[in-house]
């Protein structure tokens, strides 16, 4: 197998090859580090590359591999992964996309990082995020913008834009990401990947805790449903003291990816209020998927989704509050984050609590929508990826309007805490990735994963590789 094919091999297959001793962890790390060194200066997907630590870990794991029965190795033993630059990794910088924090070294691992290490994964480095994870494009001041490997003039999305660009370009097979308003699903959509936002409480935010009243969660990104599901398995689990939690799945999410779904009641919608209809590319992806699902034997119907007009203001009120809480001076922040921080300063505690109550009321309406269906098929975003810098000269209020009109289908399910999967379905005539979003009932990730795997089998896409990423 040549180095390009190895770089684009699924993570679960990489783990199998390592167990069989067909490749070593060191072989795999060296392939990815060479690709990162060559491609990342253009792509901007990694902001910190942990080459020395990754090589040392790979050498140690290669030694262990020679002396340990395969059955005793953890699930992803020796497989490389990236960590989003909102999650601390001991000994590596954690800048949160803020220029003045570039040299701030984390002293301990985030809880989800600990779980990834326990699964045997090797950390290649930290991937780019928008400033404080606040925006759906990844262009923080003081960093090179992250670019989409399918079209370098376009964004890979945000805030997990670096993670998506890295996986799509073969600079890692899987990636840890996080989603507070679409930040796993949007970049997966922009880059032609599978992105899973799990249910609230599926993945712990220990030891620090989650500051957005349950809107945000860590999530999994990969090129196949099975890879993303297997990564979700190792990230999941309750930690004592978590404010909300779910029982471990049975069977596992990886197993769910190999179990055909029962006949499901599926609704689809090509519009979301107050934005209106998705653009023609996104609309057609929904209609094509609905037709495929009907062919696969499911009960499929068009159904108008809940009007989420009243979600925008309380969602923004809660989301922007984190900028005041972290204590970073406004002057060092970019234009949008400065504006959000300024707005947050004029928000009383009473207004904040009213916003939380409003979100909870809207969430009830959203969950009730699923009383008569199992899965909803929606656009992930309302139109394909924007160009890098497209909104850089806009006033903040206009940029927020643009953002809402782009990512509107994502935020409702951060409010409701429901699981959702972004799934690629093809390409626009211009060559940009296209896809849909599958949304399930609370705690029913397994249903979504089984259905997504069925769609994937009917119309495979993981063999597609960006031309940028396959040049020697």
Q: Compute the distance between CA of residue 162 and CA of residue 177 in angstroms, rounded to an integer.
A: 9
Catalytic residue among 24, 82, 151, 159: 159
Q: Please, are residues 206 and 242 in contact by the beta-carbon 8 Å criterion?
A: yes
Q: Could you give the dihedral angle defined by the CA atoms of residues 173, 176, 179 and 182, in that order, rounded to the nearest 10 degrees?
A: -10
- Angle ∠(86,114,219) on CA atoms, nearest 5: 50
Q: φ and ψ at 462, to 5 degrees?
A: -70, -10
Q: Compute the distance between CA of residue 271 and CA of residue 283 in angstroms, rounded to an integer.
A: 8
Catalytic residue among 84, 117, 126, 358: 84
Q: Compute the distance between CA of residue 184 and CA of residue 147 in angstroms, rounded to an integer.
A: 16
Q: Is 84 a catalytic residue?
A: yes
Closest alpha carbon to 108 in 125, 123, 94, 91:
91
Cis upstream peptide for 409 (omega within 30°): no
- Residue burial 194-225, b: 16+ Cβ < 10 Å; e: rest: bbbbbbbbbbbbbeeebebbbbbbbbbbbbbb
At a CB cut-off of 8 Å and minimum separation 6, what does 169 contact? 35, 39, 43, 45, 149, 466, 468, 469
Tokens for 156, please give them: 């890979």
Catalytic residue among 178, 183, 416, 450: 183
If one counts every other C-beta atom within 10 angstroms of the C-beta of residue 57, the result is 22
The set of catalytic residues is 84, 159, 183
């Amino acid at each position: 197998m040549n180095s390009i094919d190895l770089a684009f091999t699924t993570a679960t297959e990489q783990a199998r090859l390592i167990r069989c001793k067909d490749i070593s962890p060191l072989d795999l790390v060296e392939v990815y580090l060479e690709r990162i060194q060559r491609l990342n200066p253009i792509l901007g997907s990694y902001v910190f590359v942990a080459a020395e630590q990754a090589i040392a870990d790979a050498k140690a794991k290669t030694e262990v591999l020679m002396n340990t029965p395969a059955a005793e190795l953890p699930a992803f033993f020796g497989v490389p992964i990236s960590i989003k630059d909102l999650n601390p990794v001991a000994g590596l910088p954690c800048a949160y996309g803020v220029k003045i924090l570039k040299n701030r070294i984390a002293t301990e691992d985030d809880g989800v990082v600990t779980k990834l290490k326990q699964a045997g994964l090797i950390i290649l480095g930290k991937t780019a995020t928008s400033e404080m994870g606040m925006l759906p494009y990844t262009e923080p001041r003081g960093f090179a913008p992250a670019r989409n490997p399918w079209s370098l003039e376009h964004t890979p999305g945000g805030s997990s834009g670096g993670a998506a660009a890295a996986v799509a370009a073969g600079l890692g097979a899987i990636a840890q990401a996080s989603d507070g308003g679409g930040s796993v699903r949007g970049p997966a959509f922009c880059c032609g990947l599978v992105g899973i936002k799990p249910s609230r409480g599926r993945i712990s935010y220990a030891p620090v805790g989650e500051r957005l009243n349950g809107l945000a969660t860590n999530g999994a990104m990969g090129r196949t449903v099975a890879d993303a599901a297997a990564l979700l398995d190792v990230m999941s689990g309750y930690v004592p003291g978590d404010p909300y939690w779910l029982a471990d799945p049975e069977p596992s999410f990886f197993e769910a990816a190999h179990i055909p779904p029962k006949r499901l009641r599926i609704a689809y919608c090509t519009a979301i209020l107050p934005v209106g209809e998705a653009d023609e590319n996104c609309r057609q992806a929904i209609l094509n998927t609905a037709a495929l699902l009907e062919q696969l034997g499911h009960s499929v119907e068009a159904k108008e989704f809940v009007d989420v007009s009243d979600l925008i203001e309380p969602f923004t009120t809660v989301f922007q509050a984190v900028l005041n809480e972290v204590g970073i001076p406004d002057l060092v922040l970019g234009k949008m984050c400065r504006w959000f921080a300024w707005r947050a300063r004029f928000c009383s505690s009473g207004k904040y609590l009213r916003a939380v109550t409003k979100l909870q009321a809207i969430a009830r309406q959203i969950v009730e929508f699923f009383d008569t269906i199992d899965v909803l098929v929606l656009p992930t975003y309302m139109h394909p990826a924007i160009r890098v810098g497209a909104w850089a000269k806009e006033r903040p209020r206009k940029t927020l309007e643009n953002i809402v009109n782009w990512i509107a289908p994502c935020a409702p399910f951060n409010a409701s805490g429901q699981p959702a999967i972004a799934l690629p379905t093809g390409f626009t005539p211009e060559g940009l990735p296209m896809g849909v979003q599958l949304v399930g009932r609370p705690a029913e990730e397994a249903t979504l994963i089984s259905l997504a795997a069925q769609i994937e089998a009917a119309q495979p896409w993981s063999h597609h590789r960006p031309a940028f990423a396959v040049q020697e």
